[in-house]
Structure 1
Amino acid sequence: MARKSRKRQTVTLPHLHSETAGYIRLSVTGKGGDDSIENQKKVIEAWARENQHPISRWYIDAGWSGRTFYRPMFRELIADIERGEVDCVVVKDLSRLGRDHIAVGYYLEGFFPMNCVRFVSINDDFDTVNGLTDQSHPHGARIRIPIKNAFNEQVAVEIKQKVEATLQMKIDRGTFVGPRAPFGYQKSEANHDQLVPDPIASITVRKIFELAANGTGVTGIVRYLNEKGLPTPIQYARSNGLTGSFADGTDDWNSRSVKYILTNRTYTGMLIQGKEKRVVKGTHEPLVDVETFDRIQSEFKARSFNISPTPEASENVFKGKVICACCGGKMQRKRGTNHADWYFFTCISKNRLGADKCTGMYARGEDVLSAVYYQLKQYIDHHFITKDQYKQEIQGMDSIIEAASLKYEEATDFSMKQYEKYVMGEGSKEAIAAARPAKEQAEAELNRAIADKEAYEKQYQVFCKLLKASRKEVPLSEIIDCIERIVVDVDRKIMVKWTE
């Protein structure tokens, strides 16, 4: 009887690539060369012509590191794959996909195969079709690709170290390394690492220092700037087309922005940068001389410490939480007349902006404290939970999680079987797609059940802390995060808003 050949048969995957996507990534340190966006696109297009796979979609992440996979266009690519709109992804090389070898391995060996997506890395001569069907070197890619991924990750680490070293060298030389110039300055057109006075904003900054040097207080400076209609840093940024964290906010000057300018030594012509706060003097043109700046700081210090703080009474546990119902601004806590040992909260917007914008709310500190304790007890009475109720609720949630976990395992096993049949030529891509919704639904139900339990556990921990505070077993400072805001309205009506 003739022996049967043990040679493994080649399994040919069907080529049903209705949508072939080209993915391009340029790192935050990439400036061109072989990895430029244009060059990556040329390499991918050349492969597409040679293999008769026209690129129908492009996903380009410019300025994103390979160590993170939360890139906007990459996430869009993943979403399109999950919707079945893309079934072939082409990159110039594996480092463009990412530089985290664990995450890259997940997509190559898990996500792409599970979603029947062909993946091609041109310069690495890697194609998942060949990886599945070429039996001449069945383990070649499995050994070579993880090594390549680990190498790419190490390159990312070395690049980060070089960037940090270069940045520190610039800081030591007194080169400005910030993304934007401080208000009053701009980056020189000839050298973007050099600060020069802004022709408009510098006038405002110089005026602020002039007023402070002549004895005008912060509140008086704020009132002057608002009355004159001088542009705030936010307004000036908008007028110059800059976006970012200052794209939103108030259009009025306030004490915080004025104090920031008056205490920023950058305006004396020096730079203080880096984690070690490296100081380099004489790096750019000053907007105020050092003597005037130091005199202003001395006056600030004298005003701040002319009242000797008392123990517990001086602690403002509600700092930033007490809000004026009229203007929505944060109220300041001040000491009573003749430095008496009592405090009150007041809104200074009336003096700063005028009575037409705020009538100026007021509340005694002891009234705020009493209102917090009273409304805390009301909150506890309304949300009271016994230990037995908590344990019973947790047991019920554990049962739901166990059932959801079993359902997810069954859906995953069924989906994997459909994929295995497809690889062996016994199944279809449609069967895999049909199994996917049940798996996704089961996974969503499991995640929701786990999240519900975690949220309930956290809620109970907060309740226990609030209960102790209501009994004065712990200070209010330990539950301050549970208070969203304390609103002071007309007739000194005080309402506490608790965090959800």
Structure 2
Amino acid sequence: MMNTKSKVAIYCRLSEEDRNKQHETDDSNSIQNQKSMLIQYVLEQGWEVYNIYSDDDYTGSDRRRPEFNKLLNDAEHRKFDIILCKTQSRFTRELELVEKYIHGLFPIWGIRFISIVDNADTANKGNKKSRQINGLVNEWYLEDMSENIRSVLTDRRKNGFHIGAFALYGYKKDPEQKGHLIIDEEAAAVVREVFTLFSQGYGKTAIARMLNDRGIPNPTEYKRLHGLRYKQPTRKNSTLWKYFAISDMLTNEIYIGNMVQGKYGSVSYKTKQNKPRPKEEWYRVEGTHEPIIDRELWDRVQSMVAEKAKPFTVGTIGLFARKARCMNCGYTMRSNKQTDGRHYLQCSNRHVAKDACIGSFISVKKLEQAVISELNKLSQEYLDKDELEQNVEFHSNVKEKKTALETQLATYQKKIEEDAKVIRELYLDKVKGILSGNDFLNLSKDFTNDRERLEKLVIETQKQLDVIERKIQTGDNRRQLIEQYTNLEHLDRETVETLIDYILVGKRIPGTRNVPIEIHWNF
């Protein structure tokens, strides 16, 4: 006889606030209790456990939970019939995800969602409102918790306490006093050497190469080797010192005993994304910890940094600033002046270590000529063959952005309709006497605010679409656009900004004078 038992995916999550670990490698008691309760429930119902998905030390608003995303992927591929949780909030605390998955995609995928404690069950159509209210309460909880945490952290920043996850290179967290930094002498010696070398006239790249040649690990690698918390690297050659690591170190006031925090702020409590904050909004408190660099050396270095930062004379230098990138490692190429008086672009990784990069290198004049030559070639093709106008690929990013915006717009409009429907249902419950007037106002308030927010987003997104549409129309008239730049003898910065997205530059081909170049146009 065919086995008709329902397959159940059990999902458990330990939130940070109820963390109760016995050992770093063990599941918490809370996770164990959840598993035991849910397995017992499955057995009582005569179902079959397909798999247990467990995320430990993750908040209910974290969409990057590994097991959570594995669960969603398996659900989409119909690998089980039921998702079972202790409470709906263990699955998610976001109302948006409740609507997207529990009320949207799970029914489409044929997945039943059940949470035991709060009696959520998508097979019971009568408790949809309670699931929505659960989602709304959880959303309020997230927002309130975020505001409380933000308030506490802001107060600690204002009082000069260090609240970051990672101590700055040269320091470590004081085990005796939370929020206080103490000097890490081994790393501090390197910091002092960097400041001293720069004050003696050594450049930032030269200092990076000296440290790399001596095998001194960069800040990230140093922390990894010493078992300290560190931010995961995202680029190649992440163990090497780079120009920007030296540059940032030389201007960081923490090295003179001042605590400077709040340079970045979160976009929303729903995301871990951060954005830069204006300098006047940073939290700066003097004398919070022992300095590594004395004031005299600091002042001398700051004077030299300011002197070197003076703008270059207007000319071809800076023509391709932030536009030219190394074809090998992807780093932005830097401009420098050679003894022959000409300006060259070279990979910023070229001199930091022997094998850091192949060392892309090209003169500004040669790159300028290559761009002009390619531009004239494109112009000639348009002028000679009108039919080629239809065969040239329009900048893919523009079309992709249009598609993404259209998808966003549709999502916003759908969510507005859903909010309106919830408000109508709540109103009917009020009319029927199921909800009091105050309950109706409280429950519908967030849906009304959400709808107003989304309506503003629809207007803003439509404006962005209109801009994209005008850009596409300009692109459709690209013959006229390119015709403006026919027969150029020299480029200027405005032309480069208008026409070029970025340029990839390779290393000269041995035995020739040819340098591989890929120009990515804005049209």
Q: TM-score, normalised by structure 2?
A: 0.66
State the shift of 1:277 in Å. 1.0
Write out aligned runs for 1:278-293 (5 A): 278-293=283-298
Answer yes or no: is 1:344 the counterpart of 2:344: yes
Partner SS state of residue 245, structure 1: coil
State the partner residue of 1:407.
none
Counterpart CA distance in 2 for 1:380 and 1:486 is: 23
Deviations along 1:282-319, one digit per CA (max 9) or x if unpaired, are 222221112211210101212333xx644464543343
State the partner residue of 1:256.
244
Deviations along 1:385-411, one digit per CA (max 9) or x if unpaired, are 7598489x9xxxxxxx9xxxxxxxxxx
- Are 1:17 and 1:87, in contact at CA under 8 Å, matched by a contact in 2? no
State the partner residue of 1:489.
508
Counterpart CA distance in 2 for 1:186 and 1:255 is: 23
State the shift of 1:179 in Å. 2.0
- Tell me: CA distance 1:470–1:16, structure 2 relative to 1, closer, same or farther (3 Å): farther
Which amino acid in structure 2 is aligned with residue 316 of structure 1?
A: L
> More displaced, 361-370 or 381-390?
381-390
Write out aligned runs for 1:454-493 (5 A): 468=481, 471-472=484-485, 475-481=495-501, 483-487=502-506, 489=508, 493=514
State the partner residue of 1:207.
193
State the partner residue of 1:498.
519
- Tell me: CA distance 1:105–1:324, structure 2 relative to 1, closer, same or farther (3 Å): closer
Where does structure 2 lack aligned partners over 5 or more consecutive residues? 22-27, 263-276, 395-402, 404-467, 487-493
State the shift of 1:333 in Å. 1.5
What is the aligned counterpart of 1:319 among 297, 319, 322? 322
Deviations along 1:362-389, one digit per CA (max 9) or x if unpaired, are 6432222111121234456679875984
- Tell me: CA distance 1:222–1:79, structure 2 relative to 1, closer, same or farther (3 Å): closer
Counterpart CA distance in 1 for 2:500 and 2:29 is: 50
Counterpart CA distance in 1 for 2:164 and 2:203 is: 30
- Are 2:114 and 2:122, in contact at CA under 8 Å, matched by a contact in 1? yes
Counterpart CA distance in 1 for 2:347 and 2:76 is: 53
Count of residue pairs the alignment pairs up: 412
Which amino acid in structure 2 is aligned with residue 479 of structure 1?
A: L
- Tell me: CA distance 1:313–1:268, structure 2 relative to 1, closer, same or farther (3 Å): same
State the partner residue of 1:302.
307
Write out aligned runs for 1:121-200 (5 A): 121-129=115-123, 131=124, 139=126, 141-191=127-177, 193-200=179-186
- Are 1:324 and 1:489, in contact at CA under 8 Å, matched by a contact in 2? no
State the shift of 1:201 in Å. 1.8
Which amino acid in structure 2 is aligned with residue 496 of structure 1?
A: I
Counterpart CA distance in 1 for 2:356 and 2:101 is: 57
Counterpart CA distance in 2 for 1:50 and 1:348 is: 65
- Are 1:465 and 1:479, in contact at CA under 8 Å, matched by a contact in 2? no
State the shift of 1:203 in Å. 1.8
State the shift of 1:328 in Å. 8.0
Answer yes or no: is 1:239 the counterpart of 2:239: no
Counterpart CA distance in 2 for 1:362 and 1:109 is: 56
> More displaced, 208-217 or 235-244?
235-244
Counterpart CA distance in 2 for 1:378 and 1:270 is: 57
Which amino acid in structure 1 is aligned with residue 191 of structure 2?
A: V
State the partner residue of 2:413.
none
Partner SS state of residue 344, structure 1: strand
Counterpart CA distance in 2 for 1:329 and 1:322 is: 6
- Tell me: CA distance 1:259–1:126, structure 2 relative to 1, closer, same or farther (3 Å): closer
- Tell me: CA distance 1:173–1:465, structure 2 relative to 1, closer, same or farther (3 Å): farther
Instruction: Please tell me whether Structure 1 or Structure 2 has the larger radius of gyration of its CA atoms.
Output: 1
- Are 1:20 and 1:87, in contact at CA under 8 Å, matched by a contact in 2? yes
Where does structure 1 lack aligned partners over 5 or more consecutive residues? 1-13, 133-138, 394-400, 402-454
- Are 1:371 and 1:495, in contact at CA under 8 Å, matched by a contact in 2? no
State the shift of 1:150 in Å. 1.4
Deviations along 1:416-464, one digit per CA (max 9) or x if unpaired, are xxxxxxxxxxxxxxxxxxxxxxxxxxxxxxxxxxxxxxx9999997686
State the shift of 1:497 in Å. 1.0
What is the aligned counterpart of 1:270 among 248, 251, 258? 258
Counterpart CA distance in 2 for 1:348 and 1:86 is: 52
Q: TM-score, normalised by structure 1?
A: 0.68
Deviations along 1:102-157, one digit per CA (max 9) or x if unpaired, are 4313433343333333322111123344x15xxxxxx4x13322222212112111
Deviations along 1:41-80, one digit per CA (max 9) or x if unpaired, are 3442453454454644211233444345554322322232
Query: RMSD of the TM alignment (CA)?
Result: 4.3
- Tell me: CA distance 1:70–1:198, structure 2 relative to 1, closer, same or farther (3 Å): closer
Partner SS state of residue 497, structure 1: strand
State the partner residue of 1:105.
99
Which amino acid in structure 1 is aligned with residue 518 of structure 2?
A: K
Write out aligned runs for 1:86-97 (5 A): 86-97=80-91
Which amino acid in structure 2 is aligned with residue 468 of structure 1?
A: L
State the shift of 1:93 in Å. 1.1
